[in-house]
């Protein structure tokens, strides 16, 4: 995420918020300032934020926590210059499109989604908020992915197929039929293996 923001060149990183690291620790040259409560005392120093957390559910919790502390603070969108975003595509606040990723024409990416390196959302697809596509994961055109769903490395979702909310699609899977919400599915063709609850760990 830091690499994407640096290379985009639109924002200056003033520091990192991480409650799991000591204040003052350096991460890729940036100082850990504290946890989210740092924002409450320094209203004029941060002009925006982005949640650099891989787990979709945890990213949602952090975003909601920041919004409670600083409801007016905008979340920025980061697009690596080596990504390809076609005309008509829309990318929501707080989302990240990493190097080598492709967003096709008229595709729509929700808020706080992560498209990892080399992933692809094809034309007219609709991707919800807090979704993640791992490297080389891809959709055909007119696909749909619900909020909080994780699509693992190399998985493919064919044209016109819908995957519900809070799903996990296993690595290397090929999704050829709709997948209901709260489902773990994998294989070629992908089949529902079990149900899952909102917030259940997958990483």
- CA-to-CA separations, 78 to 7, 10, 50, 91, in angstroms, rounded: 9, 8, 9, 9
SS3 1: coil
Q: Which residue has the tokens 């941060």?
A: 46
146 marked as binding residue: no
pLDDT value at position 45?
80
Rounded Cα–Cα distance for residues 109 and 130 (Å): 10
Q: What pTM value is reported for the model? A: 0.95
Active-site residue, selected from the candidate residues 80, 123, 166, 182: 123
Question: Contact, 70 vs 39, CB < 8 A?
Answer: yes
Fold of 78-195: UDP N-Acetylglucosamine Acyltransferase; domain 1 (2.160.10)
Rounded Cα–Cα distance for residues 180 and 188 (Å): 17
128 marked as binding residue: no
Q: Where in the chain is the domain with CATH 2.160.10.10?
A: 78-195
123: annotated active-site residue? yes
Q: Which pLDDT tens digit goes with each residue over 129-160?
A: 999 999 999 999 999 999 999 999 999 999 99
Distance of CA 142 to the CA centre of its chain: 19
Residues in the chain predicted with pLDDT less than 50, given as ranges, are none
pLDDT value at position 44?
64
Which of 163, 168, 174, 173 is closest to 194 using CA atoms?
168
Which of 61, 144, 55, 54 is closest to 107 using CA atoms?
144
């Amino acid at each position: 995420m830091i690499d994407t923001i640096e290379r985009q060149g639109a924002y200056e990183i003033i520091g990192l918020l991480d409650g799991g690291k000591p204040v003052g620790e350096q991460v890729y040259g940036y100082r850990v300032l504290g946890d989210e409560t740092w924002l409450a005392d320094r209203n004029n120093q941060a002009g925006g934020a982005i949640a650099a957390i891989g787990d979709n559910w945890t990213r949602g919790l952090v975003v909601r926590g920041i919004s409670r502390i600083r409801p007016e603070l905008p979340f920025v969108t980061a697009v690596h210059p080596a990504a390809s975003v076609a005309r008509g595509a829309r990318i929501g606040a707080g989302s990240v499109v990493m190097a080598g990723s492709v967003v096709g024409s008229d595709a729509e990416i929700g808020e706080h989604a992560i498209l990892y390196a080399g992933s692809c959302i094809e034309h007219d697809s609709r991707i919800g908020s807090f979704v993640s596509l791992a490297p080389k994961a891809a959709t055909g055109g007119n696909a749909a992915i619900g909020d909080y769903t994780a699509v693992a490395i190399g998985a493919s979702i064919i044209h016109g197929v819908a995957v519900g909310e809070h799903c996990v699609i296993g690595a290397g899977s090929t999704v050829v039929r709709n997948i209901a919400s709260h489902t773990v599915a994998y294989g070629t063709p992908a089949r529902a293996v079990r149900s899952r609850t909102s917030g259940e760990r997958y990483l």
